[in-house]
Structure 1
Amino acid sequence: MPFGSTTTAEEVVAALADEIKGRNVLITGTSLNGLGFETARVIAKYANLVVITGYNTERLKISEDALRKEVASANIRPLVLDLASFVSVRRAAAEVNAYPENIDVLINNAAAALGPFKLTPDGFEQQLVTGHLGPFLFTALILPKILSAHNASYTPRVVYVSSGAHGQWGTGVNLGELEQPNASTYHAITAYAQTKSANILTPSELTRRAGGRIHAYSLSPGAILTNFVESAEVQEALLAAGFITEDGKPNLNSRLTWTTLPRGASTIIVAAFDPSLNDTPGAYLVQCSEANKNVAPHTADPVMAGKLWSLSERLVDVKFL
């Protein structure tokens, strides 16, 4: 079936069931009412293993229990992962590397909520760490598990959940601010846009460096009222920008293209499993289809992708591919 703007995650899974069967999938950021949880929920019926992550043990247990209740046959494995802490990332990666299974698909979905300027324990801005540096380090450290899934008939995938906000709200990744955060120039929405630019530049460079051993993709799921916007700080920022109304509902007159959780997750699943994408590794997807033309020029520059990669390696102290 053709996939498009109204396709749901359930429909994509039904069409790609044979591609999902037997696969080991790791999804970051899987709390209830989020894209990661919805993705885990619909693929759990077919995947061999679904690893779900969260920084909070209690919330992670809630997600695990909900998934097991809905899909009794599912093989769900929780992993405590705080992407804002390099210590936590290294601990979680060591746990993954001790798994008996390979990782066929890694979905880097987790992100920090919009909020005031805050430094992580490692001295970097929280949004850029949770959405970029943390996932960069985690992906680098579990790379052996991903590469081990490669064979003559299958190429493992790494998927990054980005956003159209990378172009609407920002001007690309400010490498200086990534390395040396500046509270006086910080703006929550700009930091979010920088993170989402990084989520497009990184898979592009990952695909290039992997030389056919890994296919990486990025995507925009659309604007969705998920658990990401539950906090008062996020709602305040979105209200100030005119993206939601006073009652917390989507502002349909804003420049955002609002969609639903099932429709947003559908694009993640296409990026993770659709074999038709094998010929376009590194692609950016919107509404279940390749949409490289939608990538802003400041985020389509391979030179910038290389610079971001090199700086990220230095900041997390890991050589990656």
Structure 2
Amino acid sequence: MSALPTFAFESTAEDVATALADNIRGKNVLITGTSLNGIGFEAARVIAKHANLVVITGYNAERLKLSEDAIKKDIPSANVRRLTLDLSSLAAVRKAAAEVNAYPEPTIDVVVHNAAAAVAGFKLSADGYESQIATGHLGPFLFTKLIAPKLLSAKSTARVVYVSSGAHAFGPGVTLDLLRKPDESKYTPVGAYAETKAAEILTAIELSRRSDGKILGFSLHPGVILTNINTAQDSIPVMQSIGILTADGKPNTKDWQWKTMAQGAATTVAAAFDPRIASSPGAYLDDSKIATDTVAEHSKDPVAAQKLWDVTEEILGEKFVF
């Protein structure tokens, strides 16, 4: 096999998937948050060119069908399966996990946790948790735990990828208050986003450690991208307040270097399949390469990772068994 290329800021998901085609071939992959005009969709599309199966998920069945149709129109041979999954609801997570565990395929080789709640005003989930932390941490944690038998059955070590963000550094890390007792008077949309993204990095680290390498966790910064999350009507004022969007709602290209959707999905594909990172479980990627040294200290602290894991298990009443 020829040497793999070095990926960069400009690399697209297509570039990375083509280079890693041998590593994708035969794999069963599940990606959350795959609506059109999002990086989850673009990652699913390019992976579907090579994988054995791509399971796309979303809470809206109609939008999920649109994504499936778009992938199959582009790649008629793609084996795509829809899974309705609302990560903000623990009951919905349990139902979806049971469906995955009933699949005829004995393994899920890669899970990509890409779904996110809107960065907007204070909102509680059906279970009484703050919506961003529920969708970005609690739901993915429970879902991964429940389908762990499928991951542990993978022939080559399974990977769980968390699409985090460089914005994890905007806050103090995981305070646990957002999990234990969400307080609207102390809530800020950006603060909740930063804490959720920090939780994703810490979970990738601790998943790798607790599984003793039986499952490899990775997290990543996709880049600054104009997606359906930061252009949602209730997110626009927040994006304007931190300078991502200008006063007229356009991308702020003066202060930020933007990626296209294709470039934004590239690091997801690298984290899911690049064999060169397997020896660095728990690593954080940026521009499709390991960039753990850029992570804020609070989000790579092993003690914080252990504490978050323990508290999450306590809240969910579920012990992760490997």
User: TM-score, normalising length from structure 1?
Assistant: 0.97
Q: Residues of 1 paired with 2:298 and 2:258: CA distance?
A: 24
2:49–2:78: 8 Å Cα contact kept in structure 1?
Answer: yes
- State the match for 2:35 in structure 1: 31
Verify: 1:176 aligned to 2:181, yes or no. no
1:158 to 146, 157, 160: 160
Letter in 2 for 1:157: R
For 1:195-225, what per-residue CA distance to the aligned partner results, in whole angstroms no more than 9, with x for missing partners? Answer: 0000100010000011121111000001100
For 1:10-45, what per-residue CA distance to the aligned partner results, in whole angstroms no more than 9, with x for missing partners? Answer: 111111111111100000000001011000001111
Verify: 1:126 aligned to 2:131, yes or no. yes
Verify: 1:144 aligned to 2:174, yes or no. no
Q: Residues of 1 paired with 2:91 and 2:213: CA distance?
A: 31
SS class of match (1:111): coil
After TM superposition, list the pairs within 5 Å mapping 1:100-249 onto structure 2.
100-101=104-105, 102-149=107-154, 151=155, 154-167=156-169, 169-249=170-250
- State the match for 1:283 in structure 2: 283
- State the match for 2:72 in structure 1: 68
SS class of match (1:124): coil
2:122–2:184: 8 Å Cα contact kept in structure 1?
Answer: yes
Report the number of matched residues: 316
- State the match for 1:11 in structure 2: 15
2:178–2:192: 8 Å Cα contact kept in structure 1?
Answer: no
Verify: 1:40 aligned to 2:44, yes or no. yes
- State the match for 1:303 in structure 2: 303
Q: Residues of 2 paired with 1:63 and 1:229: CA distance?
A: 19
- State the match for 2:24 in structure 1: 20
2:159–2:216: 8 Å Cα contact kept in structure 1?
Answer: yes
Q: Residues of 1 paired with 2:273 and 2:233: CA distance?
A: 36
Q: Residues of 1 paired with 2:79 and 2:178: CA distance?
A: 41
**RMSD of the TM alignment (CA)?**
0.9
Verify: 1:89 aligned to 2:93, yes or no. yes
2:283–2:292: 8 Å Cα contact kept in structure 1?
Answer: yes
SS class of match (1:217): strand
Q: CA deviation at 1:63?
A: 0.7
Verify: 1:258 aligned to 2:258, yes or no. yes
After TM superposition, list the pairs within 5 Å mapping 1:260-275 onto structure 2.
260-275=260-275
Q: CA deviation at 1:246?
A: 2.6
Q: Residues of 1 paired with 2:47 and 2:232: CA distance?
A: 28
For 1:272-305, what per-residue CA distance to the aligned partner results, in whole angstroms no more than 9, with x for missing partners? Answer: 0000111111100010110111110111110010
2:133–2:178: 8 Å Cα contact kept in structure 1?
Answer: no
Verify: 1:77 aligned to 2:81, yes or no. yes
Q: Residues of 2 paired with 1:5 and 1:240: CA distance?
A: 26
Unaligned runs of 5+ in 1: none
User: TM-score, normalising length from structure 2?
Assistant: 0.96
Letter in 1 for 2:140: P
Structure 1 range deviating more: 107-116 or 224-233? 224-233
Q: CA deviation at 1:249?
A: 1.9
4+ aligned runs moved over 4 Å, structure 1: none
SS class of match (1:51): strand
Q: Residues of 2 paired with 1:138 and 1:76: CA distance?
A: 20
Unaligned runs of 5+ in 2: none
SS class of match (1:279): coil
Q: CA deviation at 1:241?
A: 1.7
- State the match for 1:294 in structure 2: 294
Letter in 2 for 1:180: K
